[in-house]
Structure 1
């Protein structure tokens, strides 16, 4: 008897759980009162849709249906009023109301159910009315292209036309027709660029859809460069202007952004400009900071993006409090060089801002005016084919005239000359024999820098058949 009671209790509990599970599963998504996935109405008919669910409900309507044209009634329903019901009424349906009506839970919008409603109008077979300007559709690689010429009846047959008169028939493989979406080109190519529209014939009358311009965006950034190829130096309080230029192929569209130390404080402003050429497009973005502060020093980045491609250029900006000149010798004030050297550079350590005027003097006179072998390279003086007469005092004059800053430095150049014997340059005849015991004078004339040391060596005549050892 006890076993029978236990079995009955278990069966009853299972029945309650199963019923509760069924009730919960039944309304896991809202339920519409229509059993089909689509409805077909005539214009000016009244559309009525009812939806039931476990939680509060909301609706999503076709884009062509204005909210003020819809009446929505909310109520609690079910035997114990624990369910939620919502009723939608559109009293005078129009062709542009064609589309998907969705009923969903407010707090779980993914839990939804829908029905597609066609509102048929023989005078308006296409949902979207033709407009003055075509809509732009973007052709992307490896993505289907949809020409959204939806129709107001599921049985309308249409043709896709590429302007001016190229007809493209659906083959249900690459070009697919769907009355709820329009034409889909599964694998579009560059040949699908241009102006498209759809066309149908109703009662002998040709109707055309809205026009769509298919554009293939290009994202090839050829080059990006800044107006400054090296670090930028500026004085506090002055204006900074950086120009970032991007070169792209025709039809390229780019986005240029800046990152810099004062961006969070809105220290700078940007302006943009575009210039078209026959083979490419130039995009300009100009960053301007009207008054520099020490906090504006740092790295400035110009980033150019087009599609998934990105290129970037950086520049370092240094901000000085005041103009200055720092000038000192590189390796002492006395320099040495060997005569005959191909070139020699006199290059002191110089750091100045703004860029100074530099003049080189030799022995108090402008160096470049004294000799054609002297020329300036940057702030250095270069001497070509060094000669003995290049020795002397070299003075570099540095000045920033607009700020009244002047500084100079004098360096001494010593030119070493290899020792030379003057008599070697003169062809001397053999003096021949001289009387024994006579007095003879020998001359040796030498020159060099520093002065050379002269040493005489005597080589006596050798005895017959034997070499003689030299004597000093």
Structure 2
């Protein structure tokens, strides 16, 4: 009997000692804050001070709206033997937009943390506003939708309002759930919850509204996708290529185009996109342009159309590029080989260069381009007009001093003029000087 009693006592003592050591070892497994409760209510424009103590080095995680320059941190070693780490966070003045979760955590063990939610309250500003004044929310049918109209005090009563609707929706825990730190959660949103919304609170008899929320329901339904050609495309080297990829989607659908083709990485291609709204659907266009085709551009061209992570479509076409040797070029002037007519004529590649253009250079010029191997020929005729400044023939042979003629005699004056285009001749009379008479 005594033996069993001794064993029971020893086991009890052993359990007590080890249990005490275990509790001591678990202390400060997460940092400790000097705040009682899970939230703290602080009037606006006052100073927020939080103290944190832990076993390892500490750091703070702050709400996004709190700028680093407005926060002071005081790090120190603490405890009876300095074996602990202490950190004091000071934020002042605290503003409404600073409302949020302040967390103290171990620097090397970020998962071990302790936090407090701070409401920076102001009777004139019951809502924590964003920076833009309008936030776009994306809704998926069948999944919860959060309207993030957070408030600055946990006791504020809030309703959800849709523009154009007189009904103010209040939380019922079946379809609409309220959380002062998150806002409204619509558990099973339907088409009613698309459009423009805001939250409203009545403070001291005065209605106050939150920022606006545009709820958009993305649609990922590609009805059809096709190219502007159904068979292989044949082009000559150096020609321009335009491929038009068209996608048809439901309203609210947004699509992305991705082109894959042989010379994509080193090509001078360009892409133009546009969207057209039809009566029953949306049309999306992507035009791929290659200004000058090369032999390396031949091959399979693929247009991938995607919308979200589900809807996909793919269309393909084969491009064939023919490469010909440089054609033979001959220039004719008035039916004769131009280069043989005058030394001032010179053919440079496919161009005819005329030096010191003169009147006799006017006429019809024909460029003959041919590829004898493939039997391809083409001619182009141009007309060159050389403008010539008008000249008076008599001026070149007449003395500058007028010859005397008998008084009362009849004289015939001649004017012979030449120019291109043909000049107009006008006669003017200027009296001779009196010579002092």
Q: In the alignment, what sits opposite 2:426?
A: none
Unaligned runs of 5+ in 2: 1-9, 327-368, 377-437
Q: How many angstroms apart in 2 are the aligned matches of 1:179 and 1:65?
A: 19
Q: 1:32 to 1:259 in 2, by over 3 A?
A: farther
Asked whether the equivalents of residues 148 and 183 of structure 1 are also in contact (C-alpha less than 8 Å), the reply is yes
Deviation (angstroms), 1:24: 5.4
TM-score, length-scaled by structure 1: 0.62
Q: In the alignment, what sits opposite 1:72?
A: 73
Q: In the alignment, what sits opposite 1:317?
A: 319
Q: How many angstroms apart in 2 are the aligned matches of 1:257 and 1:196?
A: 35
Q: In the alignment, what sits opposite 2:87?
A: 86
Q: Deviations over 1:104-125 (max 9, x none)?
A: 3334433322211101100101
Q: 1:106 to 1:239 in 2, by over 3 A?
A: farther
Deviation (angstroms), 1:225: 0.8
Q: In the alignment, what sits opposite 2:42?
A: 41
Q: Deviations over 1:169-215 (max 9, x none)?
A: 21111101111111110000011111111111111111011111111
Q: Greater shift after overlay, 205-214 or 63-72?
A: 63-72
Q: 1:238 to 1:159 in 2, by over 3 A?
A: same
Deviation (angstroms), 1:297: 2.8
Q: Greater shift after overlay, 51-60 or 239-248?
A: 51-60
Q: Deviations over 1:283-318 (max 9, x none)?
A: 111222333333333322211111221111122223
Q: How many angstroms apart in 1 are the aligned matches of 2:370 and 2:59?
A: 74
1:287 is paired with a residue of what secondary structure? strand
Q: In the alignment, what sits opposite 2:299?
A: 298
Q: How many angstroms apart in 2 are the aligned matches of 1:74 and 1:293?
A: 67
Asked whether the equivalents of residues 130 and 211 of structure 1 are also in contact (C-alpha less than 8 Å), the reply is no
Matched, 1:221 2:222: yes
Q: How many angstroms apart in 2 are the aligned matches of 1:225 and 1:323?
A: 35
1:127 is paired with a residue of what secondary structure? coil
Alignment size in residue pairs: 322
Asked whether the equivalents of residues 95 and 119 of structure 1 are also in contact (C-alpha less than 8 Å), the reply is yes
Q: Please report the RMSD computed on the Cα atoms of aligned residues, expressed in angstroms.
A: 3.0
Asked whether the equivalents of residues 137 and 215 of structure 1 are also in contact (C-alpha less than 8 Å), the reply is yes
Matched, 1:102 2:103: yes
Q: 1:318 to 1:78 in 2, by over 3 A?
A: farther
Asked whether the equivalents of residues 129 and 209 of structure 1 are also in contact (C-alpha less than 8 Å), the reply is no
Q: How many angstroms apart in 1 are the aligned matches of 2:19 and 2:322?
A: 80
Q: How many angstroms apart in 2 are the aligned matches of 1:402 and 1:252?
A: 52
Q: In the alignment, what sits opposite 1:284?
A: 285
Q: 1:115 to 1:237 in 2, by over 3 A?
A: same
Q: Deviations over 1:115-155 (max 9, x none)?
A: 11101100101111696x53111111221011111110000
1:264 is paired with a residue of what secondary structure? coil
Q: How many angstroms apart in 2 are the aligned matches of 1:193 and 1:48?
A: 42
Deviation (angstroms), 1:168: 1.2
Deviation (angstroms), 1:39: 0.6
Matched, 1:135 2:135: yes
1:68 is paired with a residue of what secondary structure? helix
1:295 is paired with a residue of what secondary structure? helix
Deviation (angstroms), 1:320: 3.1
Q: Deviations over 1:197-251 (max 9, x none)?
A: 1111111111011111111111111111112212233333333322211111111
Q: In the alignment, what sits opposite 2:154?
A: 154
2:265 is paired with a residue of what secondary structure? helix
Q: In the alignment, what sits opposite 2:63?
A: 62
Q: How many angstroms apart in 1 are the aligned matches of 2:292 and 2:106?
A: 56
Q: Deviations over 1:396-455 (max 9, x none)?
A: xxxxx9756339xxxxxxxxxxxxxxxxxxxxxxxxxxxxxxxxxxxxxxxxxxxxxxxx
Q: In the alignment, what sits opposite 2:179?
A: 178
